[in-house]
Chain A
Amino acid sequence: MPQSGEGLTAGTPEIFVAFRHIPPAGGCASSIALVEHCMGFSTTLTVNGVKRTLELDDPRVTLLDLLRERLELTGTKKGCDRGQCGACTVIVDGRRINSCLALAISHDGADVLTIEGVTQGDRLHPVQEAFIAHDGLQCGFCTPGQIMSAIGLIHEGHAGDDPERVREGMSGNLCRCGAYQGITEAVLEAQKALEAASRKEVA
């Protein structure tokens, strides 16, 4: 249950939510103490089309840790955990973001798409197919982030068929194996495939 903040009486109770822990006399240093002294906070997310309501016992949980550790969606990877590598890229409310720099509690009500949610039935997503066709990976650790970022990039629609714009648009995703050439080719091909598919739909 959300608990109202002390001394914050001006809020509309339904909207103004607070997460306050009452620290014990010796401080609230350990997570065990936190669990004991924090009021839980309920957060609702739609993840890959399924609505999930979760109790958070700690406001520090990032969206990345929530996905991996609470929902067991470990396709989203934790690389640097500091917004520098892009391995944790997911799509939130239609936008690609770094889930390691997003607090889960702040994204209450959001719609989240992860790598586990991009296939269409048994069929891989066109971006996944293109990554395989063009060897857009070696070890594969950065690949879920690369694919989510590429889906975001194509959806944003600013890169077109210009490899330079694709490289610039994908610069937030690092690949230690250096599969960049294949990644760029894969994104360009996937974009073409998706365009052709949408033309077919319109026709």
Chain B
Amino acid sequence: MKSFDYVRPATVREAVAAAAEPGAAYLAAGTNLLDLMKAGVTRPNLLVDITHLRDLYHVEDLADGSVRIGALVRNADLAHDRKFARRFPAVAEALLSGASAQLRNAATVGGNLVQRTRCAYFYDVASACNKRSPGAGCDARGGDNRLHAILGWSQSCIATHPSDFCVPLVALDAVVEVDGRAGQREIPLERFHRLPGDAPDHENMLEPGEMIVAVRLPAEAARFAAHGRYLKVRERTSYAFAVVSAGAALRFEAGAIADARLALGGVAMKPWRAREAEQILIGAPAAASLFRRAAETALAEAKPSGDNAFKVELARRVVVRALTLAAAGTPERMPALPGSPFAAVFGVVNHG
């Protein structure tokens, strides 16, 4: 690991002042950053340790009914916050389907949003990667790419964003609050991550030195509490990134779907909101054929980027299953295997 300078600011103002230095990086839990630094993928000159900023550890109810989650709230604390999990069950389920208990105990809300792709060619400094060194080429093209992107990819990058948490968040219209030398501003999560285009090294809308201070869920997001699920297909039962995942949230009125939210994970370099599919669902009663039509629409633009054509049909089926589970209703208790397709839900047919 390359050496670095270290500062531990006491306020957000001090932190953003310190991070204005070229080559600076914010350190929260470090569960992704230290891993990247050990691999030589990320080589900061200065770590700005924000873990001692006590104000960023709170989950607050705001007057307008929205919920503000401080950037340093640990994944496990948010997922096990009973009130939060009751109002946003798909978010809690997504959090608990990610990583391991040890990592969830450390990893933070803000860090989750800015974590890097787990593309093996990005991680391997001996491989060509346009994200790591712009213009170097992409060894993932023509490489082992069965888990790579099927939506929004470009010739220069076919990596995916690994977050589970971001998937239901983007479905529920979360907003990212950031602070920087130019002051505070807000970015809707849907516009926070950037697709690779010809600049895959530009992964999000943060300006140099800006930091995430909170993520906000609007009051509207809690209206889906009775029908919110996250479903995540992995290559092993637990402790693995998504091959494909989906967050689904429905609201029923008089037997018909009054409102619907849908987003996919593991398919693109950003959490993928499927707005057109949502429009198909609204106004109709829940039915397998309806869910299949929504899934077809959600994946209409999907194209394999390598040996991953299977992910297109897998994603459709994950969408159908996630919608089926959401329609059946949020379970009383968090499933033993959160997000798992192997966790049977009473009264729900697992295949169909």
Contact = CB atoms under 8 A, between A and B. Distances in A.
A10 B14 contact: yes
Interface in B47-68: 47, 49, 51-52
Nearest to B236: A171
Q: Which one of B3, B10, B17, B337 has the highest number of Cβ atoms from chain A below 10 Å of its Cβ? A: B3
A168 B47 contact: no
B6 A41 contact: yes
B101 A18 contact: no
A60 interface: yes
A11 B27 contact: no
B105 interface: yes
Contact of A172 (B49, B52, B100, B338): B100
A60 B9 contact: no
Nearest to A109: B52
A5 B238 contact: no
A102 B336 contact: no
A19 B101 contact: no
Interface in A72-113: 81-83, 86, 89, 95-98, 101-103, 105-106, 108
A59 B267 CA distance: 37
Contacts of B38: 81-82
Contacts of B9: 8, 11, 16
Nearest to B27: A106
Contacts, number: 135
A184 interface: no
A97 B105 contact: yes
A156 interface: yes
A9 B305 CA distance: 50
B247 to A, nearest CB: 20
Contact of A152 (B1, B27, B49, B101): B101
A34 interface: yes
Contacts of A81: 38
B31 A83 contact: yes
A153 interface: yes
A153 B101 contact: yes
14 contacts: A10-B14, A17-B8, A34-B3, A59-B3, A82-B35, A95-B74, A97-B105, A101-B29, A103-B27, A108-B8, A153-B101, A156-B76, A165-B336, A172-B103
Q: Which 4 A-B pairs have the closest CB atoms?
A: A172-B100, A171-B238, A19-B6, A15-B10
